[in-house]
Amino acid sequence: MKKLILLLLLTSGFSFADITSEDERFTLLCQADKMTGFQWRDGEWQFTRYKPVMTIIKKHDDEKSAEDDGWVREDAVNEMCAYRQSKGSKNTCYSIKQIGEKVERWNYVPCTESWGTDSSGNKKLKEVYCESSALEGKWEFQINGEFVAIKEPYGLSESNDGIKDDVYIQVGKCSLL
Q: Three-state SS across the chain?
A: CHHHHHHHHHHCCCCCCCCCCCCCCCEEEEEEEEEEEEEEECCEEEEEECCCCEEEEEEECCCCCCCCCCCCHHHCCCHHHHHHCCCCCCCEEEEEEECCCCCCHHHEEEEEEEEEECCCCCEEEEEEEECCCCCCCEEEEECCEEEEEEECCCCCCCCCCCCCCCEEEEEEEEEEC
Residues 6+ apart with CB under 8 A from 49: 35, 36
From residue 41, how far is each of 46, 65, 159, 162 by CA, in Å?
6, 39, 13, 9
Which of these ranges, 11-25, 73-87, 135-149, 153-167, has the smallest mean pLDDT? Answer: 73-87
Which range, 97-106, 135-144, 165-174, has the best average confidence (pLDDT)? 165-174
**13: pLDDT confidence band, cut at 50, 70 and 90?**
very low
Tell me how far apart the alpha carbons of residues 169 and 91 are, in angstroms, rounded to a whole number.
24
List pLDDT tens digits, range 21-79. 999 999 999 999 999 999 988 888 999 999 999 999 999 876 666 677 777 777 776 76
* Per-residue burial over 26-53, b = 16 or more CB atoms within 10 Å of its CB, e = otherwise: eebbbbbeebebbbbeeeeeeeeeeeeb
Question: With 60 as the cut, is the pLDDT of residue 18 above it?
Answer: yes
Residues 6+ apart with CB under 8 A from 41: none
